[in-house]
Amino acid sequence: MKQLIKMIFAVSIAAASSSVMAGADIKAGEEKATACAACHGAVGVSASPMFPTLAGQHADYMVQTLKAYKSGKRKNPIMQGTAAALSDEDILNLAAYFASQTGLKTLKR
């Protein structure tokens, strides 16, 4: 039963991420991501523990997080200012781009 619950959860996460990525333009996200590189690394792998790695992050989580910064529900002056300048389309594209990148499990910091 526990295995079934884990499998259903994993499929749900994958489906949510793929639905975010379905309407997104990864190339446009890559172009927008240049503004993220100073803190989060050129391909989304941060060299500093002060800034989270974005590469390999779930797209749906990225969308929720960026929208929370944009609305002010999540507090960080730098991220709030950055997110305020993003359209909903930009947010989807950035989320899809970073989700498509290799995550920490395969890259050394």
Is position 107 within any domain?
A: no
Tens of pLDDT, residues 1-45:
666 565 565 555 555 545 566 679 999 999 999 999 999 999 999
Total tally of structural domains belonging to the chain: 1
Q: Mean pLDDT, to the nearest integer, of 32-61?
A: 94
Cβ atoms of 83 and 71 closer than 8 Å: no
Predicted confidence (pLDDT) at residue 104 exceeds the cutoff of 90:
no
Is position 89 within any domain?
A: yes
Is position 58 within any domain?
A: yes
Is position 106 within any domain?
A: no
Tens of pLDDT, residues 72-95:
999 999 999 999 999 999 999 999
List helix spans (H) across the chain.
2-22, 26-32, 37-40, 59-71, 77-84, 88-100
Question: Has this prediction a pTM greater than 0.85?
Answer: no
* Residue ranges making up the domain that contains 50: 2-100
